Amino acid sequence: MAIQLLERPVLRRARVLASPRSLPVLLGFVGFLISFAASWVPSFWGDEAASVMSAERSIPSLFRMLTTVDAVHGTYYLLLHFWIGMFGSSEVSVRLPSALAIAAAVSGTYLIGKRLAGRRTAIAAAIVMAVMPRTTFMGAEARSSALATAIAVWLTVLLIELVQEHTTSRQAWIAYSILLTIGIYVFLYMVLLAVAHGVYVLLVNRQRIVRLILATILAVVASAPVAYFSLSERQQVAFLVNHPPTLQSVFVSQWFDVPWVAAAAWAAIVAGLVVAWRRRDSRLVAVALPWLVVPTLILVLASFLVIPSYDTRYVSLSVPGVALLIGAGVAAIPWRRASISALGLLVLLSVPSYVVQRGQYAKDGGNDWRQASAFIAAHAHPGDAVMFDNSVRPSRTERIALRVYPQYYVGLQDVELSVPFQDTSGLWDQTVPIRTDPQRLRGVTTVWLLDERHSADDTTGTDRHDLAALGFSVDTVTVIHRSVVYELTRPFS
C-alpha cells in the first residue's frame, strides 16, 4: 500500500509532463539545457567580443558606431546592452540569451511538426533540432543567430495558422508583418525566409499569397533603415570573396559540421521526402523543404552572380526546416524500435561535435584570450605594462582580451592605447606603436607582450625589436595555446 501511495504522485507528474500542453515546454527545456551546458567554458572570440564591446557602449556611442559598422547587428547589440546592464558581461551571462532562444526554437519546431505531421514526427524533429551541431553552436554563442532562428520558427508557426485556418483577420497578418520586421532588424537575411514562406503559400493556399506579399512589403519598408546602413557597410563582408560556397560547406558544414552527421541527416531527409510523396501528404514538406532550400539557394546564387553573400552561419535560420524533414524521415520508419534507434543514432553522431564545441579552446580555431589573460594576471605586478599583437586583423588582435576580460588587467598600464573603442565610430580601440612615443614606458621595468602564435609580429619580433631598442630583453616565453606571452624586463630607469 505504501508503495502504491508513493507511485501515484510519480505517475501523476509523468502524465503532466507528457501531456500535449507540457510536451513542447519540456522539449524546449531540454533544448535549453543542451545548449546552455558548458557554454561558459570556451573563451570569447572576435565576433563575440564585437557583441560585448558594442553592448557595453553608451546608447549614443552605440548608435554612432552603427552608422559606420555592424548596423546589421544593431538590434541585437541594443538588446544585449540592457541584458549586460542587468546580468553582467561574463561568458555565462551573454551566452545565456542564445540558449533561451534555442529553447523557444525547439518548442516551436515541435508545434509545427505536431500541426502538420503528428506527434511522433514532432518529437523527433524537436530532438533533432536540439542536438544538431549548428544548433548547439549558436546556442552557446553571443551572437544573433539563435534569436533569429527562434523568430523564424515562430513566424512560421503564425503563418501556418494564417494559411491553414479559415481566417481573414487583418490583425493576424499585421502581427506577421510586425514579427517579420523584428526578425529583419535582428538578422537582415530573415527576408529570405519570407521568400520561402511565399513558396509554401503558393503550394498550399494561393488565395493567401496577396496578403503575404502585402505583409512582407510592409515589413521590408519598415526595416528600410537597417537595410540602408547594412548595404552602405557591405565592405564588412568583403572577406567572403575568399570563402565561396562549396559542396562541403553547403551539404555538410552549414548545418551538420562533420560528414558522418551529414550522411545520416541527408539519408533521413530523403526518406522523409519519399514517404511524403508516396502518401500524398505534403503539408510538412511544403513548409520545410522551401525553408531548407530557398535561403541557401539565393545566397549561393548571389555569391556567384552578384556579390559574395554566403557564409555557413547565415543559413542558421533554416535549421528548424532541416530538423522537421529529418524528423519526418525518422518517424517514417514503420517499426517503433527502429525509429527510436535511428533517432538515437543521430543524437550519438552529434556528440563528438558537441564535445568539441564545449572545449576551452573551441572558438575560432583555438582562441585562448581568457587563459592568456589569467596567466598575465597571475604573474604581473601593479605598474607593469601590457602590449598586444597588432599584426593580425582587428577582430583577432590579442588586445581584445583586455576589453572582454578587464578583471585580469587591473593595475597594468595599456601603453599603446590612443583612443578607446567607445570613443570611436568603429568597433575597436585605436592604438599607436610604442616606438612613436617611447615616453609611455617611462618608469616601466616590465612589459607583458601578448602575441598570436605564428603571426607577423610573433615571427618577425617587431614589437620585441622596438622594446629591445628601449632596453628591454625577453625573460620568459610562455605558450598558452594560440597565444604567446612574452615577459620583457629592463633595469630600473
E-assigned strand segments in 163-266: none
Contact 488, 449 (CB under 8 A): yes
Q: Within a domain: residue 9?
A: no
Who's near 442: CB < 8 A, 6+ residues apart?
Answer: none
Per DSSP, the three-state class of 386 is strand
pLDDT of residue 334: 87
Calculate what percentage of the chain has a pLDDT beyond 70: 95
Q: Are residues 308 and 418 in the same domain?
A: no
Q: Are residues 199 and 338 in the same domain?
A: yes
pLDDT of residue 9: 55
Number of domains in the chain: 2
Task: Write the CATH number for 442.
Answer: 3.40.50
Q: Are residues 335 and 419 in the same domain?
A: no
- Averaged pLDDT, 3-20: 53
Q: Within a domain: residue 205?
A: yes
Domain that residue 74 falls in: 20-361
Who's near 131: CB < 8 A, 6+ residues apart?
Answer: 34, 346, 347, 350, 354
pLDDT of residue 11: 46
Q: How far is CA 241 from CA 46, 127, 238, 416, in A?
A: 20, 36, 6, 32
pLDDT of residue 279: 77
Q: Are residues 294 and 385 in the same domain?
A: no
C-alpha cell at 176: 506577421
Q: pLDDT digit string (tens) for 159-199? A: 999 998 766 688 999 999 999 999 999 999 999 999 999 99
Q: What amino acid occupies position 327?
A: G
Q: Are residues 265 and 156 in the same domain?
A: yes
Q: Within a domain: residue 10?
A: no
Cα-based angle 468, 471, 476 (whole degrees, multiple of 5): 65
pLDDT of residue 166: 63
Separation CA 137–CA 130 (nearest Å): 11
Who's near 221: CB < 8 A, 6+ residues apart?
Answer: none
- Rounded to a whole number, what is the largest CA-CA distance in the chain? 87
| Alpha carbons within 13 A on the beta-carbon side of 62 | 21
More confident residue, 198 or 230: 198
- Averaged pLDDT, 152-164: 95
**Phi, psi (deg, nearest 5) at residue 448:** -105, 115
Q: Within a domain: residue 319?
A: yes
Q: Within a domain: residue 282?
A: yes
Who's near 492: CB < 8 A, 6+ residues apart?
Answer: 445
**Phi, psi (deg, nearest 5) at residue 485:** -105, 120
Q: Are residues 278 and 394 in the same domain?
A: no
User: Has residue 95 got a pLDDT over 50?
Assistant: yes
Q: Are residues 318 and 461 in the same domain?
A: no
Q: Are residues 167 and 46 in the same domain?
A: yes
Contact 194, 183 (CB under 8 A): no
Q: Within a domain: residue 5?
A: no
Which of these three, 361, 377, 412, is where a domain ends?
361
Q: Are residues 424 and 325 in the same domain?
A: no
Who's near 290: CB < 8 A, 6+ residues apart?
Answer: 196, 197, 199, 200, 203, 321
Contact 185, 220 (CB under 8 A): no
Q: Within a domain: residue 15?
A: no
The overall average pLDDT reported for the chain is 93
Task: Indicate the pTM of the whole model.
Answer: 0.94
Which of these three, 296, 328, 361, is where a domain ends?
361
Per DSSP, the three-state class of 244 is coil
Q: Are residues 29 and 100 in the same domain?
A: yes
Q: Within a domain: residue 3?
A: no
Q: Are residues 417 and 353 in the same domain?
A: no
- Averaged pLDDT, 420-446: 96
Cα-based angle 201, 205, 208 (whole degrees, multiple of 5): 75
Q: Are residues 425 and 354 in the same domain?
A: no
How would residue 354 be classed by pLDDT, with cut points 50, 70 and 90?
Answer: very high
Which of these three, 292, 326, 361, is where a domain ends?
361
| Alpha carbons within 13 A on the beta-carbon side of 105 | 37
